[in-house]
Chain A
Amino acid sequence: EVQLVESGGDLVQPGRSLRLSCAASGFIFDDYAMHWVRQRPGKGLEWVSGINWNSASIGYADSVKGRFTISRDNALNKLFLQMKGLRTEDMGFYYCTRETFDCSGGDCYSRGFDYWGQGTLVSVSS
């Protein structure tokens, strides 16, 4: 059974740092791209960052670029999000999610985010 379990969410003051973790199990972790998606209170989903299987390709939303760093440890089956300079607008649930692809003849197409963790809550307040 595929499981994604986030941890590390906490209440922090603006400007502080936080590191989120996602423990993956039930699948071959280094076969998949992984992402962080957040949801502010009462709002929709917002993609934060993504990383491919071997960390060679990484992307960030403009809203977090330069402040957040995504990484993974395939030996430990873990995904991380280092967050620095936190702002009140960074508050919300942070979900770890897996992206699956269909590949044929050298072309790959995303099958979307097929598994999600339960989320970890980040609160930013003075």
Chain B
Amino acid sequence: SYELTQAPSVSVSPGQTATITCSGDKLGERHASWYQQKPGQSPVLVIYQDNKRPSGIPQRFSGSNSGNTATLTISGTQALDEADYCCQAWDHGTAVFGPGTKVTVL
């Protein structure tokens, strides 16, 4: 079965750039989505089709996907961006989620 891997945690200072990666075999040949989840809340879609932002998602969130790695970038990270971020792709009609990366804003 298809698997996605992510680093467990990333730390970033306020105002700096957070880079969160998601790896999978030939992931660049698929579309990747990214979800933000804060404690006790439901997930929120922040990036779809590799690099598109849903309405209402701030411009500081951006994405890319090439080779075996999809990347979510948060530019000018704010304290309210502290959350778990999870990637997702499709494999033969089933949705596959990565294990998630906890972003801590120090």
Binding site for B on A (CB under 8 A): 35, 37, 44-47, 50, 57, 59, 61-62, 95, 97, 102, 109-114, 116-119
* A112 and B45 within 8 A (CB): yes
- The reply to whether the CB of B61 lies closer than 8 angstroms to some CB of chain A is no
Chain A residue with Cβ nearest B52: A111
Tally of chain B residues near chain A (CB < 8 A): 25
In the assembled complex, 5 residue pairs joining A and B whose CB atoms fall closer than 8 Å, in A order, are: A37-B43, A44-B86, A47-B96, A95-B43, A111-B52
Q: Tell which of B9-17, B70-78, B87-95 binds the partner.
A: B87-95
- Interface residues of chain A: helix, strand, loop or mixed (majority): strand
> Which residues of the partner chain A approach B94 to less than 8 Å between Cβ atoms?
47, 59, 61
* A45 and B35 within 8 A (CB): yes
Chain B residue with Cβ nearest A111: B48
Distance, CA A116 to CA B86, complexed state (A): 15
- Interchain CB contact (< 8 A) of A113 among B33, B84, B100: B33
B41-97 contacts to A, CB under 8 A, are 42-45, 48-49, 52, 54, 84, 86, 88, 90, 93-97
Distance, CA A95 to CA B44, complexed state (A): 12
> Which residues of the partner chain A approach B45 to less than 8 Å between Cβ atoms?
112-114
B14-42 contacts to A, CB under 8 A, are 31, 33, 35, 37, 42
Chain B residue with Cβ nearest A97: B43
* A59 and B96 within 8 A (CB): no
* B31 and A109 within 8 A (CB): yes
Distance, CA A47 to CA B49, complexed state (A): 18
Given contacts A110-B31, A110-B90, A111-B48, contact A45 B100 (CB under 8 A): yes
Chain A residue with Cβ nearest B96: A47
* A95 and B93 within 8 A (CB): no
- Interchain CB contact (< 8 A) of B99 among A44, A62, A110, A111: A44
Chain B residue with Cβ nearest A45: B97
Distance, CA A59 to CA B54, complexed state (A): 26
